[in-house]
Structure 1
Amino acid sequence: MTRQTDVLVIGGGATGAGIARDLAVRGVDVTLVDRDGLSAGASGRSHGLLHSGARYAESDPEGALECLEENRILRDIAGECLRETRGLFVQLREDDPAVFEAKRTACEELGIPIEVVDGKTARAAVPGLADAVERAMWVPDGVVLPSRLVAANAADARDHGARIYPHAPVTEMTVENGRIASVTLGGDVDDTIEPTYVVNAAGAHAGAVAELAGISVEMRPTRGVMISVEYDGLEPVLNRCRDPADGDIIVPHDGEVVLGTTSVPVDDPDEYERSDWEVEQTVTECAAMLPSVAEADHVRTWWGVRPLYEPEEAAQGGRGISRGFHRLDHATDGVENFVSIVGGKLTTYRAMAEAAADLVCDRLGVDAACSTTETQLLGATRPSKLDAFVDEFDGQGPTDSDLVSRRGM
């Protein structure tokens, strides 16, 4: 039997789940599909940083401001999907002080709250910090638990009438008269859907999904390794204040810290090499900030693939130094009822969802404004409820597997 839906959203990461929630809250009939369970891609395999914007302040001021604004919104609506930690950018003895000064100036100009302290003060605040830290800068970074965040968005969408299929890979699209007429799903659904509109939120796989409709979306996926090691008592996120490089971030968890990351281009976001040198280099570089992690026991190691958009990366010189998002209306490519939302960061997922939902509502003639800036996520204040959602949607990723219980309520 063929199913109908107003909007089919392809991709069950933060952006796709956020789009489903935004549209469902506006009264749109939505179906959300993924192939491997929610959070199976970049969202659930990230380092889980809630960006303040400071990381991109010099290279991408517009993107930095997006991060700052969304950081503030998420602190209001996401509850126990976040951890309040703050962040500290540290300058080591060997680092170029001009980079620190440029970041401080850029943050001040953008209105990102900062506090500069000397090395002694930083070490007093963060026990175990390297003696080589000459000065540091406090910023309002935090930590995201992506499994909870994605599942809460999906549950909210479901409670507003959306259908969520975590194991329903898209296998085929039929385009007729300049429109996607039908989409074939496998897995648990094994059926055909006839959508009025289709949103491609498939992250690093956005190019492959678009190709099914005869559309070219150029992605430049890059892999990065994350290593979780035993370490108790780190409060802030630590960032190395230098030009982007391997091993320049440490994210605190309870009893562990996550060390990251590398940036290596891959041809296939599903099949790629996992290299020992990436692990070794990341640990070595992170130990320059927090020396004892060099000898800490490894708990788990995983790789994620960044969904970078090729035209922006080519313009910016690579390594994701600009992580803005792009809404690609494929009506200009000859497929009227199709849009891709690409690029971006976990921190800006809600803004990406709003941008996509605004376009869809315009095309469907839906006169309803976005309300996700002020409406708290379903279950946001109840960790056990959030973890039950994670279990319901098979949404556990390695990023937060030590912090998110699968026991439900």
Structure 2
Amino acid sequence: MESHPDVLVIGGGATGTGIARDLALRGVDVTLVERDGLAAGTSGRSHGLLHSGARYAEADGPEARECLEENRILRAIAGACIRDTRGLFVQLADDDPAYFDAKRAACDDVGIPTDVIDGATAREAVPTLTGDVERAMWVPDGVVAPSRLVAANAVDAREHGAHIRTHAPVTSMTVERGRVTSVTLGGDADETIHPRYVVNAAGPHAGHVAELAGVTVAMRPTRGVMVSVDYEGLEPVLNRCREPDDGDIIVPHDGQVVLGTTSVPVDDPDDYERADWELERTIDECAAMLPPVADAEHVRTWWGVRPLYEPEEAAHGGRGISRGFHLLDHAGEGVENCCSIVGGKLTTYRVMAEATADLVCDRLGVDADCRTAETELPGASDPERLDAFVEEFDGQGPTDADIVDSS
């Protein structure tokens, strides 16, 4: 079997499905392929935090502004994919008060709404918060159900003419005279695609996909553990107000909370150690904010792998940097019809897709504007319909397994 779409998108996470949606809404003939079910990689294995930008405000103002803007857009278009919880950055007794002050000032500069409260008021809002809290700061964080978000993007892409192929791994590419001329799929697909343009949105596997096209995308993936425990009644996302470190985020779900996370380099995003110390450290550190989680019953544990871009990691080092996205046009490496999109975060998937679609449309001579920021996702107001989308695309990830009913 053969097909000849304008664009082939490789990768069925939030960014890949977002790109397929954006291009389809612009009238481009697009096929998306994913080696597993949708959201099988980074998107579906995150902690599910909808960033307000506050986490990055003092490190990277432009990135924080982008998070804030995308946060607002997703609240408008994504409906039941999003839960509006707010977020609370908490300063404990051992935390540097100067860091809290710097973050608050940076949020003000960026335009992120904040409300600083004392420790007693914070404990009124979250009665089980540690007695060591000195002060706290409200920010407009939230929670994402990534399985729903990814599936809804795929459905909108399909409704506008895109083809979505799951369980269709890319096995080889042919490059002739500086262009990808064919891409062979395995798995359930057994198909050869002849695209005019190829987008590599394969997350931590982007380096491997790039190699198939004879180009280079240097990745430095890191793993992080998440553990969900039984816990009733937490409303806001809790963020430890210190330099980013292990176990500094607690994300509320209905009847559970997700504790995260660690950051450990991995060589192979498919084959890596899942160390007990990461789980133990994450629980211990999160319990410093919310002590009852130390003894709460474990429901499920999972690791995710971040698709970090090696040159940025090498230039800045450490965990505290703001991790923006990188759009790589491989024309400079001699492959005219191929680009890769790496880095970023779930909150900014839509703007990553927009930037990629802008580049692709420029290369294809398509004159059409992005419409994704103003167009509501299918099923946004209907959780049952969203969950049916997840089931259809085999898109259930562990992040929101307690939220999505795909039975």
1:294 maps to: 294
2 CA distance for matches of 1:315 and 1:381?
A: 43
1:23 maps to: 23
SS in 2 for 1:28: coil
1:201 maps to: 201
Which amino acid in structure 2 is aligned with residue 3 of structure 1? S
1:92 maps to: 92
SS in 2 for 1:168: coil
Distance 1:196 1:320, change over 3 A: farther
1:143 maps to: 143
What's the CA shift for 1:194?
A: 0.3
1:330 maps to: 330
Q: Is the 8 A contact 1:168 1:186 kept in 2?
A: yes
SS in 2 for 1:322: coil
Does residue 276 (structure 1) correspond to residue 285 (structure 2)? The answer is no
Q: Is the 8 A contact 2:78 2:376 kept in 1?
A: yes
2 CA distance for matches of 1:79 and 1:112?
A: 22
SS in 2 for 1:187: coil
Q: Is the 8 A contact 1:313 1:322 kept in 2?
A: no
2 CA distance for matches of 1:361 and 1:136?
A: 45
Q: Is the 8 A contact 1:308 1:320 kept in 2?
A: no
What's the CA shift for 1:316?
A: 1.7
What's the CA shift for 1:319?
A: 2.1
How is 1:63-102 mapped onto 2 (pairs within 5 angstroms)?
Answer: 63-102=63-102
Cα deviation digits, residues 65-105 of structure 1 (max 9, x gap): 11001000001000000001000000000111111011001
What's the CA shift for 1:318?
A: 2.8
2:355 maps to: 355
1 CA distance for matches of 2:167 and 2:185?
A: 9
2 CA distance for matches of 1:322 and 1:185?
A: 35
SS in 2 for 1:148: helix
2 CA distance for matches of 1:298 and 1:160?
A: 42
Cα deviation digits, residues 159-208 of structure 1 (max 9, x gap): 10100011100000000000000000001111110000000000000010
1:171 maps to: 171
2:61 maps to: 61
Which amino acid in structure 1 is aligned with residue 4 of structure 2? Q
1 CA distance for matches of 2:374 and 2:230?
A: 37
Does residue 180 (structure 1) correspond to residue 180 (structure 2)? The answer is yes
Does residue 48 (structure 1) correspond to residue 30 (structure 2)? The answer is no
SS in 1 for 2:289: coil
How is 1:298-309 mapped onto 2 (pairs within 5 angstroms)?
Answer: 298-309=298-309
What's the CA shift for 1:36?
A: 1.0
2:189 maps to: 189
1 CA distance for matches of 2:159 and 2:386?
A: 14
1:339 maps to: 339
Q: Is the 8 A contact 2:221 2:307 kept in 1?
A: yes
1:404 maps to: 404
1:3 maps to: 3
Cα deviation digits, residues 95-150 of structure 1 (max 9, x gap): 11111011001001111000000000000011200000000000000000000000
Q: Is the 8 A contact 1:313 1:320 kept in 2?
A: no
Query: What runs of 5+ residues in structure 1 fail to find an aligned partner?
Result: none
1 CA distance for matches of 2:63 and 2:208?
A: 26
2:38 maps to: 38
Identity across the alignment (%): 77
2:371 maps to: 371
2 CA distance for matches of 1:342 and 1:265?
A: 16
> How many residues align structurally?
407
What's the CA shift for 1:320?
A: 6.0
SS in 2 for 1:195: coil
Q: Is the 8 A contact 1:77 1:374 kept in 2?
A: yes
How is 1:248-267 mapped onto 2 (pairs within 5 angstroms)?
Answer: 248-267=248-267
After TM superposition, the score normalised by the length of structure 1 is 0.99
Q: Is the 8 A contact 1:316 1:322 kept in 2?
A: no
